[in-house]
A and B are shown apart, each in its own frame.
Chain A
Amino acid sequence: ETGVTQTPRHLVMGMTNKKSLKCEQHLGHNAMYWYKQSAKKPLELMFVYSLEERVENNSVPSRFSPECPNSSHLFLHLHTLQPEDSALYLCASSQARGGEKLFFGSGTQLSVL
């Protein structure tokens, strides 16, 4: 059983839809991350929150909007996505000291039609 839970596991959406990905961690960590993994590409860091404050924002298009209401929950709000945004979206958590080991959720496999 993972300490990081992501929902939904799979999501199919049209380009005009609005949806949200949810992540919850039960490890007592204070940092949470969103990564994108496209086919045959390395994981790309999207956003990092430490103690509920955004500390990394890697030039991600504004159609992706993160939200971290508390140290246990992280959301990724999606709107007007493009087909090239289809990918596996992974949430991770760590201790809030930087450079720490990451623990991942199972991911949301997103398909944009």
Chain B
Amino acid sequence: RKEVEQDPGPFNVPEGATVAFNCTYSNSASQSFFWYRQDCRKEPKLLMSVYSSGNEDGRFTAQLNRASQYISLLIRDSKLSDSATYLCVVNARGFKTIFGAGTRLFVKA
């Protein structure tokens, strides 16, 4: 079983749509959780951290379910500029930060 699993997509949505991604992780002792965004041929960039109580940053909402070991990202009112690959990232212990393979999103006019 992969340590971090994501649906690769692609998700094709129109502008203004709401889209949600899920991610599961295998290590129940994991402590830190993040969503990163990676544009084509670019480096990953931190989108947001994920907290147990859930957190929101503008149009983006992240949730963590420790019991089921999954993380979600919700994007409201999608913009063309949201087109990218979204990486689910889990820190299992110490400096061992594990990346999922990513979910591709295409937002179309």
Contacts and interface: CB of A to CB of B under 8 A. Distances in A.
- Same complex for A and B? Answer yes
B101 A42 contact: yes
Q: Size band of the B side of the interface?
A: 20 to 34
B93 A45 contact: no
A113 B4 CA distance: 32
Interface stretch (B11-19, B43-51, B58-66): B43-51
A95 B100 CA distance: 22
Interface residues of A, number: 25
A33 B99 CA distance: 13
B64 to A, nearest CB: 14
B34 A31 contact: no
Contact of A42 (B43, B49, B93, B102): B102
Residue among A42, A100, A103, A107 with the most chain B CB within 10 A? Answer: A42
B32 A43 contact: no
B42 interface: yes
A99 B91 contact: yes
A66 interface: no
20 contacts: A2-B43, A33-B95, A41-B101, A42-B4, A42-B98, A43-B87, A48-B96, A50-B95, A55-B94, A56-B95, A56-B96, A90-B43, A90-B44, A99-B91, A99-B95, A101-B49, A102-B44, A102-B89, A104-B43, A107-B43
